[in-house]
Amino acid sequence: MSLLKRLEKEKIQRVEAERTKEKAAPGPRVDPYRELKQKIHKQIIESLEQDFDASKMEKMEKQAIIQEIEQKVNEIIDQEASYIPRADRLKILQEIVDEVLGFGPINPLIEDPTVSEIMVNGPYKVYVERNGKIELTDITFRDNEHVMHIIEKIVAPLGRRIDESMPMVDARLPDGSRVNAIIPPLSLIGPVITIRKFSKDPFTIEDLIRFGTLTPEMAKFLEACVKARLNIVVSGGTGSGKTTTLNVLSSFIPNDERIITIEDAAELQLHQEHVVTLESRPPNIEGKGAITIRDLVRNALRMRPDRIVVGEVRSGEALDMLQAMNTGHDGSLTTGHANSPRDMLSRLETMVLMAGMELPVRAIREQIASAIDLIVHQSRLRDGSRKIVNITEVVGMEGDTIVLQDIFVFEQKGIDEKGRVIGRFRPTGIRPKFMDRIEAAGIKLPDDIFLDRGR
């Protein structure tokens, strides 16, 4: 083949490849009923506002409202487009119900128990995470305004706002799922929504054992640590399951203790009788009135807590948390972003410095070493599974260094033909120095719990 013909062939292949790419690229999906659905939606909203005030709507059963919507949808379709087949009518009805009572196109994903995370990247790309793997869905929004409408619907009931002056917001859904939204001009692809879903029924320690997150022996040990009022930090990367583990550890707190939880967006689901839930507050439209996690930690100390559970430390509140742990508030629990137990200690040092206190590094490390008893480090592995890879005791100081020792570790040995991680949980054989505190609390652990049986 001559050079000229080969170049011509390559040019044709490039053009074809570009056409294929354009066809595959997500964009506005052509919806033959778009205008009709918008008209129905507008009329239903007007009808509901006219016939039912807000208090009456709250008292009505959801099914009764759906019946009202169904009747109105059928009336409008009969008048405007009676030719629409029944299957399409049902689809339009469901979409209208989701729009009026739920969160629009993503409502089915919110209700899907197999979905753990929803990522809306502008109006035409909606991704989900299932079993630790991310996949693109065929769900789209009409346009940027449609996404903005759903964001407003999420944040408005919480007294939050999002606009150009405050283009980022953290919020939560009624079921406790965590929501983050960021809009233009910060996002260049349109409004972005990220929803971290939580199970309607909180996971138990048995669930985590079944998922392979930890072993029964590790579970017994952690339960003993919580009941013996050790101060525990759950560390890990984004999406590693820290909050789920914190929630499970919190479930071990005895029912007769007063627990105060502090979070940016309340998502912990504790079932003890005496729980006080505190949530931080962003600034108002004038940029005033913000209540930070640090403010809430300080205030919690005046509320006679038996336990303080902080959803996540990420700034100066770490200093107040450490001081609380060092002044008689034993049994406190929190989480933090880190890549290893040692990295968690470095992050805590940085957070304490962010509090604005000019403390020597050694003094900060002494505070950390005396306050924290245990670091539970969790990772999301390559196959999407989440595992507690280190349960590490904070032993104390040796010179200027904080001494750590692993009690349990996860040893990864490889990956099987299906891409699943092969490995095993292993006790290191080290008996923790705080075992006398566990025994003093009247808790008896099996003598061989720290022995490696080599299984």
With beta carbons less than 8 A apart as the criterion, state whether 239 and 118 touch: no
The type of residue at 122 is G
* Residue predicted with more confidence, 237 or 18: 237
CA distance 48 to 407: 60
> pLDDT class for 264, splitting at 50, 70, 90?
confident
DSSP 131-181: TTEEEE-S---SSHHHHHHHHHHHHGGGT---BTTB-EEEEE-TT--EEEE
Least confident of 37-41, 44-48, 265-269, 421-425: 44-48
As a whole-number percent, the residues of the chain with pLDDT over 90 amount to: 53
pLDDT over 90 at 339, yes or no? yes
> pLDDT class for 233, splitting at 50, 70, 90?
very high
* Residue predicted with more confidence, 5 or 285: 285
* Residue predicted with more confidence, 51 or 184: 184
With beta carbons less than 8 A apart as the criterion, state whether 427 and 447 touch: no
Q: Domain ranges in the chain?
A: 26-100, 102-200, 205-440
Structure tokens at 438: 């566990």
Average pLDDT in the 8-13 region? 55
Average pLDDT in the 101-129 region? 92
Mean pLDDT of the chain: 85
The type of residue at 148 is M
pLDDT of residue 414: 87
Sheet order of strands, 374-380 included: 275-279, 259-263, 307-310, 333-337, 232-236, 374-380, 386-398, 401-415, 421-427
* Residue predicted with more confidence, 130 or 20: 130
Q: Which of 255, 212, 131, 117 is nearest to 173 (CA)?
A: 117
Q: What is the DSSP letter of 188?
A: B
Q: Quick count: other Cβ atoms within 10 Å of Cβ 296?
A: 23
Least confident of 164-178, 378-392, 427-441: 164-178
Those residues with Cβ within 8 angstroms of residue 402's Cβ, 6 or more apart along the chain or in another chain: 345, 365, 368, 369, 394, 396
Highest mean predicted confidence (pLDDT) among 7-21, 94-108, 407-421: 407-421
pLDDT of residue 161: 83
DSSP 382-409: TTS-EEEEEEEEEEEEETTEEEEEEEEE
DSSP 65-114: HHHHHHHHHHHHHHHH-TTS-HHHHHHHHHHHHHHHHS-GGGHHHHH-TT
pLDDT over 70 at 9, yes or no? no
Q: Which of 3.40.50.300, 3.40.50.2000, 3.30.450.370, 1.10.10.60 would CATH assign to domain 102-200?
A: 3.30.450.370
pLDDT of residue 67: 79
Average pLDDT in the 54-65 region? 63
Q: Quick count: other Cβ atoms within 10 Å of Cβ 364?
A: 21
Over residues 126-136, the pLDDT tens digits come to 999 998 789 99
pLDDT over 90 at 358, yes or no? no
pLDDT over 90 at 16, yes or no? no
Q: Which of 192, 103, 211, 102 is nearest to 144 (CA)?
A: 192
Structure tokens at 417: 């033909």
CATH 3.40.50.300 fits 205-440, yes or no: yes
CA distance 156 to 74: 30
414 phi and psi, to 5 degrees?
Answer: 160, -165
Those residues with Cβ within 8 angstroms of residue 336's Cβ, 6 or more apart along the chain or in another chain: 233, 234, 235, 242, 312, 313, 314, 318, 344, 347, 348, 351
pLDDT of residue 59: 56
Highest mean predicted confidence (pLDDT) among 226-235, 274-283, 347-356: 226-235
> pLDDT class for 236, splitting at 50, 70, 90?
very high
Q: What is the DSSP letter of 225?
A: H
Q: Which of 376, 385, 378 is nearest to 421 (CA)?
A: 385
Average pLDDT in the 407-432 region? 91
Over residues 403-416, the pLDDT tens digits come to 999 999 999 988 88
pLDDT over 90 at 346, yes or no? yes
Cα 346–chain centre separation? 24
